[in-house]
Chains A and B, each alone.
Chain A
Amino acid sequence: MLKILIPTLMLLPLPWLTPKKWLWPTSLMHSMIIALISLYWLKNSSEEGWTTLNPMMGTDPLSTPLLILTCWLLPLMILASQNHMAPEPLSRQRTYISLLSSLQVFLILAFSATEILMFYIMFEATLIPTLIIITRWGNQKERLNAGTYFLFYTLAGSLPLLVALLLLQNSTGTLSMLITPYNDLTLTTSWSHKLWWAGCMIAFLVKMPLYGVHLWLPKAHVEAPIAGSMILAAVLLKLGGYGMMRIMVTLDPLSKEMLFPFIILALWGVIMTGSICLRQTDLKSLIAYSSVSHMGLVAGGILIQTPWGFTGALILMIAHGLASSALFCLANTNYERTHSRTMLLARGLQMIMPLMASWWFTASLANLALPPLPNLMGEIMIISSLFNWSWFTIILTGAGTLITAGYSLYLFLMTQRGPLPQHITALSPSHTREHLLMALHLLPLIMIIAKPALVSGWFA
């Protein structure tokens, strides 16, 4: 664990001590090396238990894929930000990279925490660098509103979580994730227990986001710069899912009573946000709403608490992280050239950038859950386990899958096919850096097809 954590901590002073010429190459190189070393975690010596364990941190098959995703994403974020940060003053560039690295440190500590309270503290800590990135480097004045929504939605959800966790500590004596699955805490349907359950879950449901409390997500994703969008979509949403998975093991059997409204909201959200996607004019907004849609399915899978549900949720989280981040990077390549996020004004791009069109194609197919990509594996597992619980859900999830395919194809056809307007005939050609970025997103996704057990969690 320290093999990864200490180098990541050292990434914090790195940008401040590097000369200007080597700033971006060195931060990229070092974060890439850390990402490659982190692949070592995939070798779980014990199938269900904890590996690399020490009193504060540890990894287990649930947190390993998310940790690797986090480590993998940092070099990608640095690669994506290079172009739009180039005209900024040097100290601001250094601050930016330090913020990304500090976010990385908090995320690694969050996913590897063995104490739920440490996870909570890191969960809250990630809000600060993200807020700074959104409000300082966003592009329009709406970013202030976006930052406010982002901060206060998450904070309002997570303060009850703090109370609930302290209560849990008081009543069971421990908050260590190694012990909480074996807690003898039988929650009844009394009001206090219901409130306790809600307090534990609301923070993560807001973070996922669940459909009713999802308003912060489109704002934050659209107004954030590319690195902010990438980390938000790929990892920060998964913090909510991961937290839910960890805490739900202690909340039996009340979950069986309490989950009804949340599953319904999640599944209804899949359809609703999918339909909203079909009407979007802003490219980033469409991808943001599709994130809500996919995470609604993940929330359904976690709440259902079956092995297939959990497995499907984890696979979908990893696959969605890579695919969504890839789509945001593609949208950013558009934005950097045309300076507008409107889809109507950047059409027919296949004519002028055919290789980028192939990346658009793959990312859109990943988004619509094409077999054999892991997106489909995750979705099928979740849909099957939901169907097993209640046949009625197949109507909602089936319609949701259909709409997902609809808007993913809409996204692809709108940007790539169609008449090429005259004002984008002379766009600057694709940079090699952009192709590298897309390859680093989509090749791991394609490689997971070969061994999905890597990302399947406890029940591989």
Chain B
Amino acid sequence: MATWGRLRGWLRSCGVIRQHARLCGHGWRSLSTGRTVLLQDDFFKELESHFKSARQKAADAMPGSDWSPFERNPNLPPELADIVIVGGGVVGWSIAYWLKRKELVRGGVKVVVVEKDPTYSRASTVLSAGGIRQQFSLTENINLSLASADFMRNINEHLGILNEEPVDLQFNHCGYLFMASEKAAHVMEENHNTQRCAGAKVTLLSPTQLKEKFPWIRTDGVALASYGLENEGWFDPWTLLNAFRRKAISMGVIQCFGEVTGFESTVNRIHTVEDDLVEMRRINRVNVQMPNSMEYQPVECALVVNAAGAFSAKVAEMLGIGAGPSDSIAGIPFPVEPRKRYIYVMHCPDGPGLDTPFVIDHSGVYFRREGLAGNYIAGASPDESPLLQDGEPDTADLEVDHQFFEEKVWPQLAYRVPAFESLKVTSAWAGFYDYNTFDQNAVLGVHPLVNNMYFATGFSGHGLQHSPAVGRAIAELILDGNFKTLDLSALGFKRILLQEPMLERNIV
């Protein structure tokens, strides 16, 4: 190729080509309509780039390259999958991992996890405070936490990959400290009994014992405290999510970034004895739309798992759950909605020491140590009515309300821990709870009217800590037909249909 260039140069220097330019340059008009040979139309110059692109094309088409004659977006999910998990948070990936772990042969089930946001900027998992506790009032919740804590203590046995770095969850086993006022002390005692019966290692502390153990607490107004001795604390949610994701992908789960925009389903219309119309729906395909594009792929699937967290109700609406007449099962909407909660990072060099547990005051304000440099994170659950006077925060975005800290959180914090009277808020963020408005407990199981959609959502703030055990439970439900290790049938849809709430009294 270079020889042509040299040849041209030589020709030009010999005056052959210049002659042509002279012909066109000095008023000589060619017989065509004045079009001259411009330098950029030069055939020889482009020839080299043509050759280069042809060579590139040939190299692409050789075996070993992934060029294919059909232009396929590599992010598109497959056309046929067995199980589509909507939502790529920690619950979704936990379910994917356990499905792969429980299949009997390699490649037993084809699992696709669809996640809307590749940056996880609005996902509840990564915005969580990351705590794990067994101090619940419902036995199922306690068992879930115990099983998850056991999983996370032995995480490298479960999620370790050969030749990769071991998973380090930064699990701080500092325990939770719940404090109860006079009027709630009996509830705490009952809960304590339930927890001990289920096998949680918790202990009750009187105010004097509390003061002795944690001298930095002001115990005025505290009648009773419950302190977790083992398997309680906090860990890094992002590490857990990535550990599940990495291990699941290594076991063959397909990850797809896209948004589920609709379902194609078959509807069977049945008339009951009283001549009411019941529509039983079976999902045939999930329409997954690619990010920033109109392109979508209908994924033919056998069943769908709704692990979409705060946005589960939107997915449920696409199937007509809640769209029926109000006195029928179809008219009961899926009771999970996003609730915004704030977390504030504060720096207090004189604060409580390194053995500070996750402290939760009876007013709903909580804080925990973050790192080793005197930072703490704090927040408040506006479940208690004094904090909820202004209503729930707007869920349209994740903007942080700093007034909330000034007015609601700091006074109570400073009251409970005098050292917090002087602190500096260095950062803050907001995240969504997938809040179950019905009874603040998870919904696990198949919907009665949509035959092949499993729900694993509505955890109302304790999804992250239950995720390993919930993943195992849903995998058992799918592959074994029923719960095997933990019986979570009480958390199914039945209580919502019968309108019998199973309230969890210890919501933080």
Contact = CB atoms under 8 A, between A and B. Distances in A.
Contacts of B103: 281, 344
A279 interface: yes
A139 B300 contact: yes
Given A342-B302, A423-B454, A347 B109 contact: no
Contact of A422 (B105, B285, B477): B477
Contact of A347 (B80, B285, B477, B481): B481
A279 B103 CA distance: 12
B82 interface: yes
Interface stretch (B46-54, B416-424, B428-436, B444-452): B444-452
A342 B105 CA distance: 11
Nearest to A414: B104
Nearest to B285: A339
Contact of A141 (B79, B110, B266, B302): B79
A118 interface: no
Contacts of B445: 422
A342 B481 contact: no
Interface stretch (A288-296, A424-432, A436-444): A424-432
Nearest to A345: B302
Contact of A339 (B107, B109, B268, B302): B302
A422 B446 contact: yes
Interface in B280-303: 280, 282, 284-285, 300-303
Nearest to A422: B446
B481 A339 contact: no
A423 B478 contact: yes
A426 B282 contact: yes
B108 interface: yes
A339 B283 CA distance: 9
Q: Give the size category of A's interface with B.
A: 20 to 34
A422 B473 CA distance: 13
Which residue of B78, B104, B108, B280 has the most chain A CB atoms within 10 A of its CB atom? B108
A39 interface: no
Contact of B482 (A279, A340, A345, A419): A419
Given A139-B80, A281-B107, A338 B302 contact: yes
B107 to A, nearest CB: 6
A140 B108 contact: no
Interface string B252-289: 00000000000000101000000000001010110000
B451 A426 contact: yes
Nearest to B76: A141
A253 interface: no
A421 interface: yes
Interface in B317-332: none
B82 A340 contact: yes
A347 B104 CA distance: 14
A426 B107 CA distance: 26
B479 interface: yes
A281 B108 contact: yes
B480 A424 contact: no
Contacts of B285: 339
Given A141-B79, A342-B302, A426-B280, A421 B478 contact: yes
A174 to B, nearest CB: 45
B265 to A, nearest CB: 11
B474 to A, nearest CB: 11
A279 B282 CA distance: 29
A426 B268 contact: yes
A84 to B, nearest CB: 12
A280 to B, nearest CB: 8
A378 interface: no
Contacts of B454: 422-423
Interface string B301-317: 11100000000000000
Given A423-B446, A426-B280, A340 B477 contact: no
Interface string A265-280: 0000000000000011
B268 A348 contact: no
B348 to A, nearest CB: 51
Contacts of B303: 345, 423
- Max chain B CB contacts within 10 Å: which of A347, A419, A423, A428? A423
A279 B481 contact: no
A422 B105 CA distance: 22
A420 B108 CA distance: 17
Contact of A139 (B79, B280, B302): B79
Interface in A107-149: 139-141
Nearest to A144: B70
Residue among A339, A340, A346, A419 with max Cβ neighbours from chain B (10 Å):
A339
Contacts of A140: 78-80
A398 B15 CA distance: 90
Interface string A339-376: 11010111110000000000000000000000000000
Contacts of A424: 451-452
Contact of B108 (A338, A339, A342, A427): A342
Nearest to A428: B268
A339 B284 contact: yes
A142 to B, nearest CB: 9
Contacts of B268: 426, 428
A427 B302 CA distance: 12
Contact of B479 (A280, A340, A344, A428): A344
A426 B79 CA distance: 24
A118 B302 CA distance: 46
Contacts of B284: 339
B79 A425 contact: no
Nearest to B303: A423
A423 B452 contact: yes
B109 A342 contact: yes
B99 to A, nearest CB: 10
Contacts of A425: 451
Contacts of B480: 419, 421
B80 A344 contact: no
B110 A342 contact: yes
A386 to B, nearest CB: 32
A289 to B, nearest CB: 14
B79 A281 contact: no
A88 to B, nearest CB: 15
Among A140, A280, A421, the most chain B Cβ lie within 10 Å of the Cβ of A421
Given A419-B481, A423-B446, A426-B282, A339 B300 contact: yes
Interface string B97-114: 000000111011110000
A348 B482 CA distance: 13
A419 B110 CA distance: 20
Nearest to A418: B481
A340 B302 contact: yes
Contacts of A339: 80, 284-285, 300-302
Nearest to B281: A426
A421 B282 contact: no
Interface string B464-503: 0000000000000111111000000000000000000000
B69 to A, nearest CB: 10
26 contacts: A139-B80, A140-B78, A279-B105, A281-B109, A339-B80, A339-B284, A339-B300, A340-B82, A340-B301, A344-B104, A345-B82, A345-B109, A345-B303, A345-B479, A419-B482, A421-B481, A422-B446, A422-B481, A422-B482, A423-B452, A423-B454, A423-B478, A424-B452, A426-B451, A427-B282, A427-B451
Rank and list the top 3 A-B pairs by shortest CB-CB distance, nearest first.
Answer: A419-B481, A340-B302, A423-B452
